């Protein structure tokens, strides 16, 4: 699997409205352990990587920009609701910036929270990915 992968989620619309299903087995190769969402985002979120944790991020409302670094290169993409998602593997630096006022970022994680799994210093991240 790549370090990260962007998805456009399917949408089914009829006279009742729209439905966006999330068949997790099609987007992630692990069992979800934790779900959280970020709202009222004033500054950037993320700014770290995980040694083992993988995450699926979904822009479910508004818009934001995701910045990803795989140890070699930066990738930046604007995500807009409600169909944009990105799977981020472990050891990928991820940041979310430029949130619209109404933005909601949903995260589905492969692990329960573990503070020891985080690398919060970018130079340390580069050092660990390029060993």
> Residue 116 carries which DSSP code?
G
95-110 burial, b at 16+ Cβ within 10 Å, e below that, comes to bbeebeeebbbbbbbb
Place of tokens 């050092």: 127
Cβ neighbours of residue 97 closer than 8 Å, sequence gap 6 or more: 44, 64, 65, 67
Look up 48 and say whether it is catalytic. yes
Q: Given the residues 48, 50, 69, 94, select the one marked as catalytic.
A: 48
Q: How far is it, in rounded angstroms, from Cα 120 to Cα 50?
A: 9
As annotated, the active-site residues are 48
């Amino acid at each position: 699997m790549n370090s990260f992968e962007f998805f456009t989620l399917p949408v089914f619309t009829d006279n009742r409205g729209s439905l966006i299903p999330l068949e997790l087995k099609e987007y992630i190769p692990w069992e979800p352990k934790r779900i959280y969402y970020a709202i009222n985002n004033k500054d950037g979120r993320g700014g770290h990587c995980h040694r083992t944790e993988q995450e699926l991020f979904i822009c479910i409302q508004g818009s934001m920009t995701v910045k990803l670094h795989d140890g070699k290169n930066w990738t930046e993409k604007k995500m807009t609701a409600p169909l944009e998602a990105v799977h981020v593997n472990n050891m990928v630096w991820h940041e979310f910036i430029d949130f619209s006022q109404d933005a909601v970022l949903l995260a589905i994680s492969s692990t329960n929270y573990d503070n020891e799994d985080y690398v919060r210093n970018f130079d340390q991240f580069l050092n660990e990915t390029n060993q």
